[in-house]
Amino acid sequence: MACLAAASSTTSLVFSSSFCSSRLFIRTLALRSASSPPRLFSTTAVPLRSLVARATLGFTHPSIKETPKLSFTAKDTDAAEWKGDLLAVAVTEKDVARDDESRFQNPILSALDSKLGGLLAEASFEEDFAGKVGQSTVLRIAAGIGSKRVALLGLGASASGPAAFKGLGEAVAAAAKSAQAVHVAVVLASSSQGLSSLNTASAIATGTVLGTFEDTRYKTESKKSFLKSVDIIGLGTGPEVEKKLKYAGDVSSGVLLGRELVNSPPNVLTPGVLAEEASTIASTYSDVFTAKILDAEQCKELKMGSYLAVAAASANPPHFIHLHYKPPTGPVNVKLALVGKGLTFDSGGYNIKTGSGCMIELMKFDMGGSAAVLGAAKALGQIKPLGVEVHFIVAACENMISGTGMRPGDVLTASNGKTIEVNNTDAEGRLTLADALVYACNQGVDKIIDLATLTGACIIALGPSIAGAFTSSEELAKEVFDASEVSGEKLWRLPIEESYWESMKSGVADMVNTGGRQGGAITAALFLKQFVDEKVQWMHIDLAGPVWNEKQRCATGFGVSTLVEWVLKNAS
């Protein structure tokens, strides 16, 4: 509960390089002969910068920038006495209500305004600040309180969920950037509704970290980040808050990795480099992770005809990624798999993407599912949950055009023996996921979630900020949607309408790979279902919309937070 307390207590936590994503790395992966067994990778990371400059198309490589350090401290103290650069006060529309004499009725705003001689009320009135979402006003202070500036940040009519307080954290980061503030404090003018103080503090910290992030690896000039510390006032102190803030940092590190992976241009982030990122996670958290990277010959041994057909046209060879998490101690009670679509670039193949809205220039984000899976792996490597085993699986490749590429009309055979007539080479993601899902089932898992930027149809149905979720398991649906409530990521359950399978039937094979425009997201889910063991609980998440923020021209890291929450819900 927000308050202006006389006594002061403190809980502090520093997010240093652990909250920022790893830089992309690359090293040569030795191709193994067909007779050699899969090898466990434990690699020493070599900076991408040292090799890619002479190997990458366009001579492009990401610059290595110093990782900023950002510390969070939970305090119970008098906001008016807090000393620093910027005091951010989060207010609802109700909080800024005034009495007949134009004085704030809210006790925190009233106390601050009293010490400022009415300047806060005057400034907010002149700037027509009403506490609406996105509104802010900043007042430079000469004297009266400890802070050099006070910012009022609007929460809207009310703020009750994690998304609202993540948004507040982002607003704090933006205000700090504008003011070039180094030390910032956040206080709520009134207590949050429907969300515990622990989860509110965690959401604010997460939003601030993500709001501070700017991907400038490919820019010749970038602005320096000044923000170093954030004090969260009035939401409690002690070990539980400290644990929750650490958790926010761990999850944020995974989200940032997901963002950097999706942001990376396809001439830098090839399938091999994506595999190296996975290997780096395994070597960094080697106490709980092992990595297995399969080359094309090994995938042939496993009869992955569907996946390899997609990869056949590219000069960059495919890499099948399998990260395996085992808890550091204790028994395993449940086995999970997270499968991510890993198309590091999708041209569409012979059905090349053309015309307005085809988004071919953005097809670097077609590996957004794999970015979510690897981001979750990084976060879980730090959290180390007990009682759960997790397999992270990505069939990484490119969908290009050449004389060796798959053609419309080709018939492919997946690793479970089912045959697929290719009627559209731009419906390639499901072909890679088919063999990845068979592989995941063969690991003996109980539950699978796959994530993919699979269909434009899902964007049309749900827009840019909501992912579609498909499952026949009510139990799994409840688990995942409960997790998304905590993460603040938006999912909407869509039906698996079995009657639509009629449009997926082929005259020469078991199925075609696309059923046309109507219900495209549903028929894509029905296709994937053919490659999942009936005994395994399975959910497909189509994140084609929320993977990318068009306004910011940046990846979102969508899916990481929900996946981490879901794994923890299954952990002991």
> Distance between CA atoms of 342 and 337, rounded to whole angstroms?
15
Give Cα separations from 332 to 297, 326, 382, 563, 572 (angstroms). Answer: 32, 8, 18, 18, 9
Neighbour tally for 2: CB within 10 Å = 23
State both tokens at 110. 């009233």
Catalytic position from the list 98, 353, 384, 418: 353
φ and ψ at residue 289, rounded to 5 degrees? -120, 145
Burial 449-478 (b: 16+ CB within 10 A, else e): bbbbbbbbbbbebbeeebbbbbbbeeebbe
Query: Look-up: residue for tokens 């005057």?
Result: 122
CB 306 within 8 A of CB 431: yes
> Distance between CA atoms of 248 and 560, rounded to whole angstroms?
12
Q: Which of 403, 52, 71, 453 has the alpha carbon at shortest distance from 231? A: 71
- DSSP label at residue 22: P
Within 8 A by CB and 6+ apart from 103, the residues are 110, 113, 118, 121
Angle between helices 239-263 and 368-383 (to 10 degrees): 150
- Is 430 a residue of the active site? yes
Strand 183-188 to strand 149-154: parallel, antiparallel, or no bridges (unpaired)?
A: unpaired
φ and ψ at residue 308, rounded to 5 degrees? -70, -25
Catalytic position from the list 23, 217, 246, 430: 430
Q: Which of 200, 192, 210, 215 has the alpha carbon at shortest distance from 249? A: 210
Please identify every residue annotated as catalytic: 353, 430
